Structure 1
Amino acid sequence: MNTLSLWRGTAAPTGYAMLSGDVTCDVLIVGGGITGVTLADLLAEQKTANPPKVVLLEADAIGTGTTGNSTGNLYETLSSGLREIHAKWGAEVARQVADERRTAVNFIEERCRLLPDVGFRRCDLVEWADRAHNDAIRKEIEALTAAGCAVDRGTTIPAPLPPAEGDVLVLRNQAQFQPQAYVVALAARAAQAGASIHEHSRVLEIDHKARRAVTAAGSVTAREIVMATHTPKGVHLVHTEMPVHREYAIAFEWAPDGPPGPGTFWWKAAEHLSIRTLQAGGRHYLVCAGQEHKVGIHNATAGMIALENLARKYFGDRPVTHRWSAQNYRGADALPYIGRNHSDCFIATGFATDGLTWGTVAARLIAAELLGHKSAFADLVKPGRLSPVKGGKNILQENALVVTQLVKDYLTQRQNEKLSELKAGDSAIVDAEGETVAAYRAPDGELFAVSPVCTHVGCKVHWNSVETSWDCPCHGSRFRPDGTVIEGPALAPLKRKHTPDLAGGGSAPA
């Protein structure tokens, strides 16, 4: 299945050179999404006698990770509701969160004035529910009001959106943009200001003590390392605290003046649906994102089909032009983790599905600290905090799930298929010559066989039929059929296996 997102499919390409050789710098940024690119831009624009020398390494191309697979919505609240922050942390922290995120959206708007064709627009965020979830909408209106947000209470929703069965929350003056176009343009601005940006430069090894990162063709030694990789690479304590989910999205062409018009629309019913429009290249699209699914233990195809059926129910049977998904990591106590962690490197993670705004917050906080101006808000979101009252239950549940999955897979997850019986497009965990392998036969007949053991902490990977990837249910590492790392905390690829291909007469490389 083609899973190129609408944003990536309608944005300009990039062409930064791969890292070659050994270099030194003041700040190494690992990750070319909105967090890393914004940080590179903030540091590179410094007009001082000795501005920091910045190197940014991106494993693929700028923005092609979570940023380019998001929904492009910007808002001061949270997708799970500001009421969650209010309940766990109190009214004052909820106000601080809304203020910090509002400031980040304003910052993005200011940057967009300097960048070409990034599709920024101000609009309302509208949230409503079915009858069973009306109480959550009421509590969210109360929490937003207490935090000083410009929220109104409505009663109706324009067709063909799902009808309202109670209060309608209208949060004024939020925003949207084209996230891929934004980071591509912002990276160009950072590079012009002096940042060294390298694509297709995956970090294979990080020596935190020596402040050195190694790629296939070179290395970077830095005074400071920032892991702007959505979840930090390697083994970190925060991995034990964060549930990992994927959210699927689709787009199809839509009437230029058709409802619902500009806005971010969240239907928070038994079946969640996020809706917005986009105009790009003279064409108009409607974007729908569905419910979250636990990485590695859900049926990806079923999740995508459920979203398409829900979209057809309300918007008609239209040809889908784009399908994609994105991964998110949720902080145990509803706040992200931003700042130095136990490795003495900077991390930025735990954004849930609010990463475009949180990523901008993170870049601004980290830039301030690197430049000697640490923000008071940074103490609230610092890694290493642990509040048993606020996040202890979620941490215990997440670690219990990891242990359960690890034990269950090692005891039960083998299938009866043989390698020789795998048809084109099929995948399976199979026994081959006394060894368990994760096998996939591509549409052209080529067989890929790799170790099913995730290189992060040893859990067993599961097949994702939508993304054509092996996904780890423990901490969200994902791998291509040939074992190459796609995303997540894993640094090393899945080991290729040498297995006779009885059907094709060949073998997978060792």
Structure 2
Amino acid sequence: MTEPSIWWQHRADPPTQPSVPGDPGPQETFDVVVVGAGVTGLATALELVRAGRSVLVVEARHPGAVTSGRTTGKVSALQGTTLSELRRRHGDSPRVTAYVESTLAALDWVAAFCDEHGVATQRRDAVTYAASRDDVSTVRAEHDAALDAGLGVRFETDPDLPVPAYAATVLPDQLQLDPVELVLAMLEQVRKAGGRLLTGRRVQRLRQRGETVHVLGEDGLEVQGRHVVLATGAPVVDRRMHFARLTPQRSYLLAFTHPDPPDLMALSAGSPGRSWRGGELDGRRMLLVGGEGHETGRGPRESTRVDRLRRWTDEHFPDAVELGAWSAQDYMSLDGLPLVGGLGGPSSSVSVATGYRKWGLTSGVAAGIALAGAQSGAEAPWSERLYTRAPRLRDVPAFLGVQAGVALGQAGSLARGVRRPPPVEAARSGGCAALPVCTHLGGTLRWNDHEQTYDCPLHGSRFSADGEVLEGPATRALPRLPRLPGTGGRSSS
């Protein structure tokens, strides 16, 4: 697959992946098997190995390959309009307070880790601003919610920003960093503490036998753990249908060189959202611009969304020179809070972590702290309040709304017809095209013209042009359509 350039992963002098021991022996049983080598999986693994547990991390691609390696690199307790949205949903619930506590704990964890292990960070103001007069009340609500949560925000009625802004709430002393550098440093510390890693091995099934969980997957993968953590975005092994409690969201990010990038991290309120910040990487002064979020596989073409970001950047930062454009996927839970804890049902020894609403560098680390604490007996004080999953009547409308969206996404995909890749893409895959039907639950896939992928509008599974799984709840590649006679080597697509 030809992916758009991901600046974090395509530097002039990228760090080499740390070496780790290879395949475990057939009879070896780990205390915990962690599936997924992003920020959540590696934070979980690192906390566990520090507590003396034996840990194996299994990664389908390479560390940081999916969401963790594609973020804006913001580590902040001011997260757009998150706190005011949570307060509207939950009122004065202790879960909202616990969310803030977990975010601050994660921020402190990341800051301490980066300082100790030489990961470069910059302290910056985080800003949520009103790009129109209609958004001023939204920003004021976020400011009030942040103040009530104990955050040291200040309100500005005439913010000095390089884009139109009618009000802003500002939280000083937050962090920005290179997320791939963080992932690789975390992996190195897992290795040094005795953790193990398997890459290029996709987990497809779990089988619980007594107190041991057998983890099964591609290429004969079979490893054993007393506990398994699914740190894979959407859970890839999901007997309890957690995927039905999540909405997959894609958003886009462009990297530019710029002679004078802003020294802050900003996110607009309202729609369409715009996220931007300055920075430096490999000696280059950079501007990162993101936004255009939408439910995966639905709505206007992906390339159209990226072009909107380009036009916005050209208008407000005319000296910016583009280096690369890519996108990332994250998940929204029914109640807007992270979905972290036991998988439930017969899989009592399996935990999941997802639903970070695009703030995984804090919520993913917090999930790792909580999951490791549950195994080691050192639970975080906010964990039980935040991740309680007792059924509540107020979840029912949200659940029905998610399912209605799934139905509409499928109907829309069928009505438009499947966007197929150009013939050259099929030719690259040996003259045989992938059948565009999701191997998760049979959804009709849509061709993503920006990233050259097939995307599922139901639950967010994504596949390369030749049918290989990239992310989402699907675990098996797309079936292939044979070449039709007389097509001269061209695919039937």
Tell me: CA distance 1:293–1:26, structure 2 relative to 1, closer, same or farther (3 Å): same
Q: Which amino acid aligns with 1:283?
A: R
Alignment-derived partner of residue 286 in structure 1: 287
Does residue 1:486 correspond to 2:470, yes or no?
yes
Q: Deviations over 1:456-484 (max 9, x none)?
A: 11211111111111111111111112211
Task: Identify the residue that residue 391 of structure 2 maps to in structure 1.
Answer: 386
**Farther off after superposition, 134-143 or 204-213:** 204-213
Which residue is equivalent to 1:59?
Answer: 60
Match of residue 170 from structure 1: 170
Residue of 24, 35, 39 corresponding to 1:34:
39
Match of 1:144, SS state, is helix
Which among 253, 263, 270 is matched to residue 249 of structure 1?
253
Aligned to 1:206: 206
Task: Specify the alignment match of 1:231 in structure 2.
Answer: 234
1:188 alignment partner in structure 2 = 188
After superposition, the Cα gap between the structure-2 partners of 1:115 and 1:415, relative to the gap in structure 1 and judged at 3 Å, is closer
Q: TM-score, structure 1 length as denominator?
A: 0.88
Change (3 A) 1:208 1:295: farther
Q: 1:450 to 1:128 in 2, by over 3 A?
A: same
1:75-96 superposed Cα distances (whole Å, 9 cap, x missing partner): 1233442012222223343332
Q: Secondary structure at the match of 2:481?
A: coil
Tell me, in whole angstroms, the C-alpha distance in 2 between the residues paired with 1:103 and 1:84.
21
Q: Tell me the SS of whatever aligns to 1:211.
A: strand
Give the distance between the partners of 1:487 and 1:416, measured in 2 at CA: 19
Q: 1:300 aligns with which of 295, 299, 302?
A: 302
State the AA in 1 paired with 2:245. E
What is the alpha-carbon distance in structure 2 between the residues aligned to residue 85 and residue 270 of structure 1? 18
1:45-444 map, 5 Å: 45-46=50-51, 51-91=52-92, 92-116=94-118, 118-129=119-130, 130-159=132-161, 161-165=162-166, 167-208=167-208, 211-215=213-217, 216-235=219-238, 236-255=240-259, 258-261=260-263, 263-298=264-299, 299-316=301-318, 318-342=320-344, 343-344=347-348, 345-382=350-387, 384-389=389-394, 391-406=395-410, 409=413, 412=415, 414=417, 423-425=422-424, 440-441=425-426
- Supply the AA of the counterpart residue of 2:366: V
1:125–1:265 CA contact under 8 A, matched in 2: yes
User: 1:200 & 1:445 partners in 2: Cα distance?
Assistant: 20
CA distance 1:156–1:259, shift in 2 (3 Å): farther
Compared CA separation, residues 62 and 416, structure 1 to 2 (3 A):
closer
Q: Measure, in 2, the Cα distance between the counterparts of 1:208 and 1:348.
A: 19
Partner amino acid for 1:405?
Answer: G
Query: How big is the shift at 1:213?
Result: 1.2
- The answer to whether structure 1 residue 450 and structure 2 residue 452 are counterparts is no
Could you tell me how far apart the structure 1 residues matched to 2:97 and 2:386 are?
A: 14
Q: Distance in 2 between matches of 1:305 and 1:145?
A: 37
Q: How far has the Cα of 1:501 moved from its partner? A: 6.6
Q: When the two structures are aligned, how many residues end up with a matched partner?
A: 477
Contact 1:213 1:219 in 2 (8 A): yes
Kindly provide the amino acid, as one letter, of the partner of residue 247 in structure 2: P
Is 1:500 the equivalent of 2:484? Answer: yes
Matched residue type, 2:216: V
Cα separation, 1, equivalents of 2:164 and 2:194 = 51
How large is the RMSD of aligned CA atoms in angstroms? 2.4
Which whole-Å deviations, capped at 9, do the CAs of 1:145-175 have from their partners, x for residues lacking one?
111100001133445x21212x211112221
* Separation in 2, partners of 1:289, 1:109: 24
CA distance in 1, matches of 2:216, 2:397: 37
Aligned to 1:428: none
The answer to whether the 8 A contact 1:245-1:295 is kept is: yes
Distance 1:481 1:99 in 2: 42
- Cα distance between partner residues in 2 of 1:177 and 1:138: 28
* 8 Å contact kept, 1:74–1:356: yes
Alpha-carbon contact 1:246-1:295 (below 8 Å) kept: yes
Classify the secondary structure of the residue corresponding to 2:236.
coil
Structure 2 CA distance for partners of 1:416 and 1:354, relative to 1, 3 Å: closer
The answer (yes or no) to whether the contact 2:7–2:255 under 8 Å persists in 1 is: yes
Q: TM-score, normalization: structure 2?
A: 0.90
Query: Residues 271-309 of structure 1: CA distance to partner in whole angstroms, max 9, x if unpaired?
Result: 311111221211111000012111012311111111111
1:173-195 CA-partner distances (Å, limit 9, x unpaired): 22111111011011011101100
Cα distance in 1 between the residues matched to 2:358 and 2:485: 41
Residue 138 of structure 2: SS of its match in structure 1?
A: helix
Structure 2 distance, partners of 1:380, 1:254, is: 44
Preserved CA contact (<8 Å) 2:73 2:177: yes
State which of 459, 468, 474 in structure 2 corresponds to 1:475: 459
Q: Deviations over 1:364-398 (max 9, x none)?
A: 00010000233453333437433332x33222111
Secondary structure in 2 aligned to 1:232? Answer: coil
Q: Measure the CA separation in 2 of the matches of 1:30 and 1:197.
A: 10
Q: Which amino acid aligns with 2:221?
A: G
Contact kept? 1:158, 1:260, Cα under 8 Å: no
Partner deviation per Cα, 1:182-221 (whole Å, 9 max, x = no partner): 1101101110110001211221322245511123143111
Distance 2:135 2:470 in 1: 36
Q: 1:448, CA displacement in angstroms?
A: 4.0
Q: Distance in 1 between matches of 2:165 and 2:416?
A: 44
Q: Which residues of structure 1 form unaligned runs of 5+? A: 426-439
> What is the Cα deviation at residue 413 of structure 1?
5.5
CA distance in 2, matches of 1:212, 1:24: 9
Gaps of 5+ in 2: none
Q: Identity, % of aligned pairs?
A: 27
CA distance in 1, matches of 2:481, 2:208: 31
Q: Which amino acid aligns with 1:475?
A: H
SS of 1:114's equivalent?
Answer: helix
Alpha carbons of structure 1 residues 463 and 383: separation in structure 2 relative to 1, 3 Å: farther
Per-residue deviation, 1:38: 1.1
